[in-house]
Structures are given as C-alpha cells and as structure tokens.
Amino acid sequence: MMIIYPTASLVLELCVERAIWWAQHKTIFVADLHLGRSSPVTPQDAAPILHSLARISALVEQYSATRVVFLGDMFHMKRNYNEYVLRIVAEWRKNLHDVQIILVRGNHERVLGDPPPELHIDCVDPGYSEAGLTFLHEPRHSDHYSLCAHLHPNILVPSTRVAAEAVPCFVLGSSYLVLPAFDDLQPGRIIRKMPDEAYAYIQNGQVVMQ
C-alpha cells in the first residue's frame, strides 16, 4: 500500500489489490470489474466473478469499510443483464448487507441500465462529488480532485523474467487519479506516459512509485 495526499484535506491509500481506501469516509473504490463479460452458464465459468467479489469482501473486512464505490463498468453484458451473474452478485450482497454499495454509471451501465433494485446498489451519474472528491468513470475535467476509471492503465516496467513486463498502475495527475481495472482477467492497456503525471504500479505484491 501507499499513502498519497492529493489535496490539503484528502488522504488516499493506494492498495496493492488495485483499489483505493478513503479512510476519512471508510470507503473502498474499485474500477472496471466487468462482471459477466463471458456470460457464464456454469459454476466453473463463474470462478473469475466469485474471485473478484471475494477480493472485495476481503478488502471490506480488512479495512472495516462501510461503503464500496464502483467507478463504472461493474457489469459487462451485451444488452441485458445475465440472470446467472445477478444471482451470484445477489448472494454476495447478502453477506455485505450492512455495507452501502454505490455504482457510478459507466459506459456499460448506460447500455444495460441500472442493476435490479434487489441488489441494493445506489446508482449515481459520473460527476457525483462529496468532501472535495469527484467520482467519475471516463476521465474528464472536474472542479474537484477526481477518481476515474475506464482506461485500464498498464505500464511497462523492468522484470527479472523478461526485459519489461506490462503491469497495472495508478495514474496520478494534478487533479485526477485513474485506477487500474480490478478484474484479474481484464485486459490492460499500455498507456503513453505524460510529463505531468506520476505512476504507481503494482508488481510482486507491492505498490511502487515510478
């Protein structure tokens, strides 16, 4: 983990699990789960979904979080929600019944619509702000410091196995932070490094600032 201080009043922890912990508000932020990308129909196919949800549960327990914010693209289907995926999420939700779940509508939710009300997920539009922090999906200008998703950022770093390997990273700008995709199987995108940005990458179980 790594602590950063984006503004005078904002303290965020970059977690090796590809999440952010906002201690002042007991909130965990994750991005781009894309649950249902492969439209599972059997328990074996559902293993990646169960694994992602279990990782979130472990973070909630680790930090005693009272809220989880998904920064868009929690779900990924063609046009309709997959009933099998919804049942998996509903069972997971029962175990976190006392934790508030907020979903910032991403491009996939804009196609699918909000998830069913029985999942007890509070949906908000990108640009929702509180305590000097704006919640977004696609990165864009905001009057406050913003947390963003959508890009699935990776960078190339030296490795003991190969000359360079692609690893997930947090992108830190002067007024924004882009999270890596939370899903283990979600393809990352090698981003072009910018002179006014910093990069905190995840490798060998550590968060490393470049």
Q: Is the pLDDT of residue 79 over 80?
A: no
On average, the pLDDT of the chain sits at 91
CA distance 172 to 197: 5
Q: Tell me what the mean pLDDT of segment 181-188 comes to.
A: 82
- No. of H helices and E strands in the chain? 3, 16
Q: Tell me what the mean pLDDT of segment 14-21 comes to.
A: 98
Torsions phi, psi for 173 (to 5 deg): -100, 180
Task: Write down the pTM of the prediction.
Answer: 0.93
Report the top-level CATH class of 2-209: alpha beta
Q: Tell me what the mean pLDDT of segment 173-188 comes to.
A: 89
